Structure 1
Amino acid sequence: MSSVEEFRAAIRDWLQARLSGEFAALKGLGGPGREHEAFAERLAWERHMAEDGWTCVGWPEEYGGRGASLAQQLAFHEEYALADAPARVNHIGEQLLGPTLIDHGTEEQKARFLPRIRAVEELWCQGYSEPGAGSDLAAVRTRAVRDGDSGDWIVDGQKTWTSLAHHAQWCFVLARTTPRAPGTRPHAGLSYLLVPLDQPGVTIRPITQLTGTSEFNEVFFDGARTPAGHVVGAPGDGWRVALATLGYERGVSTLGQQVGFRRELDALTALARANGAADDPLVHDRLVRAWAGLRTLRAHALCGADPSLTKLAWSHWHRDLGELALRVRGPAATLTATPGSATPGSGAYADPGSHGDPGSYELDDWQRLFLFSRADTIYAGSSEIQRTLLAERVLGLPKEPRP
């Protein structure tokens, strides 16, 4: 295995050579609140990455990865961000489902799904949250039963806040397969199913966000089917598998996210110096605290801190950065451009091909950051739930009363 610096040089040279020509226009596109930007082109870019072996770098070599160490994965994410490469489209498959299957899937499941994830041939979404069962996943009402004739799982229910479902071909779904018996744990009887979305019985509806776009969706299952062998872990063992996926989502995979955070903070600091906002002692203090907080986030991820602690820390850090951005911009933060009036490089957008519709206004980068980061403390496990988990599992405090 190459050293970290050799690995860093290899991905840096590759990005410099490839982010030119047909892919040069993709620099800086995509990301939270902007997932609609050039999606088809970014998909083609990521497939190009796969052809040269630069997807799934942290996966073991036997599954098509590079077996990169944690330090090498960090180097990859840093160089990717420094190159201003476009936001990835296959994060959910590569960073969440892939590691879950590697650790908990059958050999048949690994052979069927991992090569297609690595090649970016099939995209995935996460079917966890439901109306009335967001962070409290043990309360999910989506059900799956076995068909006595075919043995298939038949799925009925609704998922919500499903990121990029409108682009995905598959969804990993947490569903109740055994009714909860009195006196049993709330999460008993849940199963982790791999469900194809391109079939009768699946309806996907976009949710328009404050940013005017629609990365999130509602997904309705009405008699949707998936083969018997597409349950990860044993039937009824879905809670354990689902927690493993959440661990990947809130753990090492946040390293790449933090590189993006650092770029946002650097840009905001430069803006504060340019417009004089940094001369305000309160703004200066908040910028310094943001810098120190980002260093703490990195340390949490590198040392393998509790996933709930990691999620709680980064979500509040990023939300606070969005609020600070408006403070730095001052009164101009309340103004928006009319459609089509944005100039190149302004950070504002109006994309008639977006999944959502920005409507009668355009947002700049800082307004979009403020609006989208309001959701950070809610999705992927709300802050209230994370604090409860930390209190009970880390501090050993009494459990909250549950029905």
Structure 2
Amino acid sequence: MDFDDTPDEAAWRAEVRSFLEQHRGEHADARAWQATLYDAGYVGVAWPVPAGGRGGTPMQQAIVDQEMARLGLPALINLIGIGMCGPTVIVHGSDDQKQRYLKRLLRAEDLWCQLFSEPEAGSDLAGLRTRAVRDADGGWRVSGQKVWTTLAHLADYGILLTRTDPDVPKHRGLTMFVVDMMAPGVTVRPLRQMNGAAHFNEVFFDDVLIPDAERLGEVGEGWRVALTTLMSERLSLGGGGTAIGPKPETVARHVAEHIGALPADRQVLARQQLGRGYVAALGARYTGYRQLSKLSRGELPGPEASAGKLSGTRSARDLADLAVRVLGDDARVAASRDGDSTWQNAQAGLPGIAIAGGSDQVLRNIIGERVLGLPAEPRADKDVPFKESVA
């Protein structure tokens, strides 16, 4: 692992830092702020130039992300589009789709969502039931339901994984589309979270017409297309030296400020929890640095993305729990409508991260099978036609 920037990376970091410090007060409007960053060359840095990107390196993009986090700037509003949907269109989309969608996506002129999970197909994504049936004019009629769709209530477009052939095994009967979220028959219903926010949604498709020109990849090749999306998602969530959730240093300062109000025995327990959580958070951070070191050398990351996301999520939840716990009775006041509920929001929101980008259980399977070489999970329905496996 190399903790130091190369000379080129150091020069790039200085350029990015200077720009962000000069423009840090311009992010009140999220879409306009992303457009400003894009016009300056700091969004989609590693995307190919024909796709609207800068043609830079993943390390350059990671440096932009690090510098934004260092200054406490908000994340880009279109991260789902940039990190997951856009890469899928780049790899599997037609030239017409790339021309119509990608630059507008990078500038946040259009927001995107990822329509994968269903009530009966979460971790077992290939078990999804949303159907797409050929229309007489060659298009597709889609009916079904998706759930836990981040930002669907704001999205203009989404990438939609459907079942087009129930007569073959589940992984071979899927097809991916771009869907207009304003199309007739699309209904979005926000899901209220524990912290009162509603970032996730359930989405219903009632005989929605999608032109065949909006298909991504070949008919029946949707699982291969979806793997592009999923790998991009885990890479974007797996950490690159930035924290998932609150920074451990911030939690440590918060605990130091409030721990004196606790009884002596609870102070001991709080210090122990802080120590365990802090060390785990640093472990996740340095796992991200290993990933960045590989990117800096022009190598592809290994299992660091899955491992970093898994460990980072756990440590973030532990630290957020501790931050609320040391408030003692004041936690109830801070959680009131008029109080500062920063830590309560983090505590209530972070459990969802354990599901997003692959649940903890799925990531453990990936690490177990692909890193440790353990036997694969039994899959009795692997070669069975899908319609028989759900009968």
> What band does the TM-score fall into relative to the shorter chain?
0.7 to 0.9
Residue 305 (structure 1) shift: 2.8
Distance in structure 2 (CA, Å) of the matches to 1:43 and 1:254: 25
Map 1:3-402 to 2 at 5 A: 3-20=8-25, 23=26, 26=28, 41-149=29-137, 151-181=138-168, 184=169, 186-252=170-236, 254-255=238-239, 259-261=242-244, 264-276=247-259, 281-299=271-289, 301-302=291-292, 303=294, 304-306=301-303, 307-339=305-337, 341-342=338-339, 348=340, 364-394=341-371, 395-402=373-380
Q: CA deviation at 1:75?
A: 1.3
Equivalent residues of 1:94, 1:117 under 8 A apart:
yes
TM-score of the pair, normalised by structure 2: 0.84
Flag structure 2 segments of 5+ consecutive residues without an equivalent: 1-5, 261-266, 295-300, 382-391
Aligned partner of 1:352 in structure 2 is none
Instruction: Describe the shift of the 1:60–1:401 C-alpha distance in structure 2 as closer, same or farther (beyond 3 A).
Output: closer
Which residue identity is paired with 2:64?
F
Deviations 1:142-185 (A, max 9, x none): 01112122x1121111001110111101110110011133xx3x
CA distance in 2, matches of 1:84, 1:71: 20
Quick check: 2:187–2:203 contact (8 Å CA) kept in 1? yes
Query: Which whole-Å CA distance do the structure 2 matches of 1:282 and 1:206 have between them?
Result: 39
> Do the aligned partners of 1:252 and 1:301 also contact (CA within 8 Å) in 2?
no
Return the letter of the residue paired with 1:270.
R
Residues in 2 aligned to 1:121 and 1:334: alpha-carbon distance in whole angstroms: 40
* Partner AA of 1:333 in structure 2: A
How many residue pairs get matched?
360
What is aligned with 1:361?
Answer: none
- Give a deviation string over 1:349-376, Cα, whole Å, max 9, x none: xxxxxxxxxxxxxxx1111111111222
Which whole-Å CA distance do the structure 2 matches of 1:62 and 1:2 have between them?
27
Are 1:301 and 1:310, in contact at CA under 8 Å, matched by a contact in 2? no
- Unpaired segments ≥5 residues, structure 1: 27-40, 343-347, 349-363
**What SS does the aligned partner of 1:375 have?**
helix
SS in structure 1 opposite 2:187?
strand
Structure 1 residue 263: deviation in Å? 5.4
Instruction: Rate the CA distance shift 1:273–1:337 in 2: closer, same or farther, 3 A.
Output: closer
Q: Given residue 211 of structure 1, which amino acid in structure 2 is its aligned partner? A: N
Amino acid at match of 1:305: G
CA RMSD in angstroms comes to 2.4
User: Partner letter of residue 288 of structure 2?
Assistant: R
2:330, 2:68 → 1: CA distance?
31
The superposition leaves residues 253-308 of structure 1 with CA deviations (integer Å, 9 ceiling, x where unpaired) of: 5446x524485222111112223468754134224423432334314543413254
Q: CA deviation at 1:15?
A: 1.4
Q: Deviations over 1:209-266 (max 9, x none)?
A: 101110011110011122112111111111111111111111145446x524485222
| Aligned residues with identical type, % of pairs | 37
Letter in 2 for 1:269: A
Q: Counterparts of 1:373 and 1:207 in 2: how far apart (Å)? A: 15
SS at match of 2:248: helix
